[in-house]
Amino acid sequence: MEPILHGIILAFGLILPLGVQNVFVFTQGVTQPHLLRALPAAITAAICDTLLIILAILGLSVIVLQFEWLRFGLLVVGILFLIYMGKVIWSSGAANVEGKEALPVKKQILFALSVSLLNPHALLDIIGVIGTSAVKYSGQQQFAFAVTCIIVSWLWFLGLTIAGATLKKIKIASKVFILFNKCSAVFIWGTALYLLMGLLAS
């Protein structure tokens, strides 16, 4: 039970804070005409997290944490990406919220891939925290820890999509979602600034 409880607490702790991935998946639930159309974003984000968790537990964390230049490169690319994503989310207007300009499936998948694999916070959290936490387990215990983290990730992203679609059904004013987008963009830019300050200080 220890690795399972550890996996639940750790995975929820890392995934709960508002971030680019969460904002994007939730927004798809709101902007797509129906729930099924929003699922590609949630499934892609969950698959990316699954892949990163497996790689982290298999030892990718050791490689990334060993090479400073690799960590530096990830952060620089990630900061630029966060600035761009903040701009995209900030300019999302009422048309997007009302589903008139919902993203097609291909764009949903590409955006979900980018917010999952180019987000330094998500990468460093999964590689640095889950990867290093898994080291204390071996065999079946490590497998249970990995599976628990993966299940939490899938349930979270599917839940976010359903929450977005449900809020849309109860006819919350589009201004509320536009305000949510603006606040999310500011948060994302704040994250980029925080990472930049950490990079300059190191």
Q: What is the pLDDT of residue 158?
A: 93
- Output the six-digit token pair for 107: 């764009």
Whole-number pLDDT of residue 157: 92
Q: Cα 94 to the chain's mean position, in Å?
A: 24
Can you read off the two tokens belonging to residue 8?
């639940």
pLDDT value of position 6: 75
Report the pLDDT value the prediction gives residue 15, as an integer from 0 to 100: 64
Q: What type of residue sits at position 163?
A: A
Q: What is the pLDDT of residue 81?
A: 74
Residue ranges, the chain, pLDDT below 70: 10, 12-19, 60-65, 71, 74, 89, 92-101, 120-122, 124-125, 127-129, 131-132, 135, 171-174, 176-177, 202
Q: Which residues contact 14 (CB under 8 A, 6 or more apart)?
A: 125, 126, 129, 130
Q: What is the pLDDT of residue 100?
A: 45
Cα distance between residue 23 and residue 31, in whole Å: 12
d(CA 18, CA 23): 7
pLDDT of residue 159: 92
Q: What was the pLDDT predicted at 187?
A: 73
Sequence ranges of the domains in the chain: 2-67+94-171
**What pLDDT does residue 134 have?**
73
User: What single string gives the DSSP state of each residue in the chain?
Assistant: -HHHHHHHHHHHHHHSS--HHHHHHHHHHHHSSSHHHHHHHHHHHHHHHHHHHHHIIIIIHHHHHH-HHHHHHHHHHHHHHHHHHHHHHHT--HHHHTTTTPPPHHHHHHHHHHHHHS-HHHHHIIIIIIHHHHTT--HHHHHHHHHHHHHHHHHHHHHHHHHHHHHHHTT--HHHHHHHHHHHHHHHHHHHHHHHHHHHH-
